């Protein structure tokens, strides 16, 4: 069956989103067409507004409408500790625990040779540039996947020789689990139980 052209185009766009297959894309497209025009407009405006307003903090690379971001500019945060995560959504998961009071650094990915992602594609250089004498601990909070492990190892080898304590969060999660989907209690425990990388 052939979709009429505008519908085919809408389905095609939805299918570009992560985790959306042809069936979900079709369901979303039909849903949009049933929505009142004002609601559709509101939805489109929200996408464009977020895209325009949200930038990356030039210090920690957290997604934010401010630069420096709300965390980097917060005087109450402990400036001696940096927690390294791969994406802003992991930062948000850790913030939800309310346990961590230090700073963050968002790598914007993990090392993945299969996908052609090398350390140069990540915010590694920018992390190293932040490691002055005031930094006492780097907490690695990357997913317990092959890529996450490789990235943790790579970073600890770079940072430890600088005389900075490098720890990693203790995962109570199975290998391959996603940090962003972990509940607050599990994540808080993972932070609390972090171990120094020797
Ligand atoms: Zn920041």
> Residue 75 Cα, ligand 1 centroid: separation in angstroms?
12
**CATH architecture group of domain 77-171:** 3-Layer(aba) Sandwich (3.40)
> Residue 84 Cα, ligand 1 centroid: separation in angstroms?
12
> Residue 90 Cα, ligand 1 centroid: separation in angstroms?
14
Report which DSSP code applies to 119. G
Q: What is the pTM of this model?
A: 0.80
> Residue 59 Cα, ligand 1 centroid: separation in angstroms?
5
User: Alpha-carbon distance 106 to 12, whole Å?
Assistant: 31
Dig out the tokens for 98 from the structure: 């309310």
Domain boundary assignment for the chain: 77-171
> Residue 94 Cα, ligand 1 centroid: separation in angstroms?
15
User: Alpha-carbon distance 155 to 127, whole Å?
Assistant: 10
> Residue 27 Cα, ligand 1 centroid: separation in angstroms?
38
> Residue 21 Cα, ligand 1 centroid: separation in angstroms?
34
Got the DSSP string for 140-155?
Answer: E---SSHHHHHHHHHH
> How far is residue 38 from each of residues 29, 33, 145, measured CA to CA in Å?
16, 12, 43
Strands, E assignment, the chain: 55-56, 63-64, 78-85, 102-106, 137-140, 165-168, 195-196
Count CB neighbours of 14 within 10 A.
18
> Residue 71 Cα, ligand 1 centroid: separation in angstroms?
6
User: Alpha-carbon distance 151 to 149, whole Å?
Assistant: 5
> Residue 186 Cα, ligand 1 centroid: separation in angstroms?
25
**pLDDT at residue 140, rounded to an integer:** 96
**pLDDT at residue 172, rounded to an integer:** 65
**pLDDT at residue 177, rounded to an integer:** 67
Q: What is the pLDDT along the chain (198 residues), one digit of tens a residue?
A: 688 999 999 999 999 999 999 999 999 999 999 999 999 999 999 999 999 999 999 999 999 999 999 999 999 999 999 999 999 999 999 999 998 999 999 999 999 988 899 999 999 999 999 998 899 999 999 988 889 999 999 999 999 999 999 999 987 655 556 777 778 888 888 888 888 887
> Residue 103 Cα, ligand 1 centroid: separation in angstroms?
8
> Residue 152 Cα, ligand 1 centroid: separation in angstroms?
21
> Residue 69 Cα, ligand 1 centroid: separation in angstroms?
4
**pLDDT at residue 70, rounded to an integer:** 96
**pLDDT at residue 175, rounded to an integer:** 58
> Residue 130 Cα, ligand 1 centroid: separation in angstroms?
12
> Residue 58 Cα, ligand 1 centroid: separation in angstroms?
7
Alpha-carbon Rg for the chain, nearest whole angstrom, is 20
């Amino acid at each position: 069956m052939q979709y009429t052209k505008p519908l085919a185009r809408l389905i095609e766009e939805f299918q570009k989103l992560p985790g959306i297959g042809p069936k979900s894309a079709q369901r979303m497209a039909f849903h949009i067409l049933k929505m009142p025009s004002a609601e559709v407009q509101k939805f489109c405006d929200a996408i464009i507004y977020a895209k325009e307003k949200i930038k990356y903090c030039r210090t920690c690379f957290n997604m934010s409408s401010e630069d420096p971001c709300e965390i980097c500019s917060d005087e109450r945060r402990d400036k001696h500790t940096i927690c390294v995560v791969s994406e802003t959504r992991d930062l948000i998961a850790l913030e939800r625990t309310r346990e961590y009071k230090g700073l963050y650094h968002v790598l914007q990915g993990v090392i993945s040779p299969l996908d052609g992602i090398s350390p140069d594609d990540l915010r590694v250089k920018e992390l190293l540039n932040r490691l002055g004498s005031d930094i006492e601990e780097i907490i690695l909070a990357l997913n317990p996947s092959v890529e996450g492990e490789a990235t943790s190892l790579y970073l600890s080898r770079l940072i430890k020789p600088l005389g900075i304590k490098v720890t990693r969060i203790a995962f109570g999660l199975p290998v391959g689990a996603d940090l962003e989907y972990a509940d607050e209690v599990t994540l808080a425990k993972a932070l609390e139980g972090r171990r120094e990388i020797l």
